[in-house]
Amino acid sequence: MSGNMSEGEGLGLLGHAVRIPESPDEAVLEFVPNPHPRTHYLVRFTAPEFTSLCPITGQPDFAHLVIDYVPRRKIVESKSLKLFLASFRNHGAFHEACTVGIARRLVKEMAPVWLRIGGYWYPRGGIPIDVFWQSGPPPEKLWIPEQGVAPYHGRG
C-alpha cells in the first residue's frame, strides 16, 4: 500500500510484525488522511540514530535527522516512516543522497504544503557534514521552531 490510501482503508504495516526492508526502494510509506486539512500546522519527526553506509568504504555513517512538514491531505504513518528510515542501515549512499532523497520521496508521495529536513551527520574523516533541504518557502505565519540540534563540536 502506497500513498494512495483512502479513508477507511486498512494500513498494511500498522499493528503487524514486519521486518525492516532491505533497501529504501523496497520500503513502503503509508499515509492516513490529515485530520485538520484546512489548518497549517507543523509535524516534526526526529530520528537521532539514523544509520546508512558509506558507499566507498562500507563503514556505517550516523546522523540525527529532523523532518518538519506541513501536511496537505495526508500525513505519513509513523511506523512506515520508521521502517523506511531503518532501511538505510544497509544502504550505501553519501550523506547528501540520503538526506535529500528522504525528503524528495516524502514530497513525491505525500505532497505536503511544505517540508524541510536537517541531516546532522557525525564526522566522517574528521569532518562533520550537515545537509539541509526544503521544498520551498514555508507558509506565512507558520510557527517553525529551531531544529534543536547543536552543531558538532567534538570533545571540547
Active-site residue flag, 98: no
Q: Region 150-154: what's the mean pLDDT? A: 80
Q: Is 54 annotated as catalytic?
A: yes
Question: What does the pLDDT look like over 100-143, one tens digit per residue?
Answer: 999 999 999 999 999 999 999 999 888 899 999 999 999 999 99
Residue 3 has pLDDT above 70, yes or no: no
pLDDT tens digits, 33-52: 999 999 999 999 999 999 99
The catalytically annotated residue of 61, 68, 98, 130 is 61
Exposed/middle/buried for 106, CB within 10 Å: 0-12, 13-18, 19+?
A: buried
Q: 31-134 adopts what CATH topology?
A: GTP Cyclohydrolase I, domain 2 (3.30.1130)
Judge whether residue 5 has pLDDT over 50.
no
- Catalytic residue (choose from 25, 54, 68, 130): 54
